[in-house]
């Protein structure tokens, strides 16, 4: 595969593409500041009470990302992106089969727990969802994109699927944005929105990196799906 040199807008776009062997990008986005200590949010304290972390947010389906830097809660757009949300929930809860990256066998278990945010670009996005931690991994299948004109990258905290160059090549990798990024509209399936914990997303975005990879592990310790009636 050819090596791509990326600048300006194309640098940002390529940051959302699931890495493939031999296609690592050379970018000059600039270094981030020193790694911050873990950020605690109100979400973490709420979870420790034994109640649903998303209870105060109203009816809906929520993804609770418990990381080693704090908790992020996203509302999932199960009506606007039903197939994408079903895939995400199935992987998160261990009800959807995927190909184990070590054995090559199909298995069912919580997919995201213990995975890394392997790609971080300051003032742009944080990317995770790869069990290999390399940016090259996935569940062994692809899902169709669900692009909706009513959903745009017009605010911070958009939860969307990374892909390999088109919306129909998503699998398990996802990203969360730091701010409005209108040039991404139409290229990536948006399937959720941060409701609590954007400060955690921003803190992750400020950690020290090398070639967009954090210098210390940013771990998604547990991903829980909560349904509020």
The CATH number covering residue 86 comes to 2.40.100.10
Q: Is 25 a domain residue?
A: no
Q: If you average pLDDT over residues 5-13, what whole number do you get?
A: 36
CB 17 within 8 A of CB 37: no
Q: What angle do CA 12, 153, 138 make, to 5 degrees?
A: 60
Q: Is 95 a domain residue?
A: yes
Q: Is 159 a domain residue?
A: yes
Task: Note the pLDDT of residue 55.
Answer: 72
Q: Which two tokens stand for residue 213?
A: 């990879």
| Share above pLDDT 70 across residues of the chain, in percent, rounded to a whole number | 77
pLDDT, tens digit (0-9, with 9 covering 90-100), for 118-156: 999 999 999 999 999 999 999 999 999 999 999 999 999
pLDDT, tens digit (0-9, with 9 covering 90-100), for 178-216: 999 999 999 999 999 999 999 999 999 999 999 999 999
Res. 218: pLDDT tops 90: yes
Q: Is 4 a domain residue?
A: no
| Overall number of domains in the chain | 1
Q: Is 62 a domain residue?
A: yes
Mean pLDDT of the chain: 83
8-state DSSP, 136: -
Q: Is 18 a domain residue?
A: no
Q: Is 183 a domain residue?
A: yes
Q: Is the pTM of this model over 0.75?
A: yes
Task: Note the pLDDT of residue 16.
Answer: 52
pLDDT: is 3 or 221 the higher one? 221
Helix/strand/coil for 193:
strand
pLDDT, tens digit (0-9, with 9 covering 90-100), for 15-64: 455 443 333 332 321 222 222 333 334 444 344 444 667 777 889 999 99
Which range marks the domain in which residue 219 is found? 31-228
Res. 4: pLDDT tops 60: no
Phi, psi of 88 (to 5 degrees): -65, -45
Q: Is 15 a domain residue?
A: no
Q: How many helices (H) and strands (E) does the chain have?
A: 4, 13
Res. 175: pLDDT tops 60: yes
Task: Note the pLDDT of residue 44.
Answer: 40
């Amino acid at each position: 595969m050819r090596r791509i040199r990326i600048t300006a807008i194309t640098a940002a776009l390529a940051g959302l593409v699931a890495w493939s062997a031999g296609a690592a990008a050379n970018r000059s986005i600039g270094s981030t500041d020193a790694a911050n200590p873990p950020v605690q949010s109100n979400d973490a304290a709420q979870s420790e009470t034994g109640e649903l972390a998303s209870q105060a947010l109203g009816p809906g389906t929520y993804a609770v990302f418990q990381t080693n830097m704090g908790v992020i809660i996203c509302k999932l757009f199960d009506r606007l992106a039903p197939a994408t949300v079903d895939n995400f929930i199935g992987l998160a809860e261990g009800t959807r089969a995927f190909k184990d990256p070590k054995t090559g066998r199909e298995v069912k278990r919580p997919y995201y727990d213990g995975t890394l945010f392997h790609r971080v670009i300051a003032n742009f996005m944080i990317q995770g969802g790869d069990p290999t931690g390399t940016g090259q991994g996935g569940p062994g299948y692809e899902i169709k994109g669900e692009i909706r004109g009513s959903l745009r990258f017009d605010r911070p905290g958009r939860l969307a699927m990374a892909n390999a160059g088109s919306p129909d090549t998503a699998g398990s990798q996802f990203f969360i944005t730091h701010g409005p990024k209108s040039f991404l509209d139409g290229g990536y399936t948006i399937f959720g929105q941060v409701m609590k914990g954007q400060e955690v997303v921003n803190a992750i975005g400020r950690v020290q990196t090398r070639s967009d990879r954090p210098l210390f592990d940013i771990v998604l310790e547990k991903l829980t799906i909560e349904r509020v009636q």
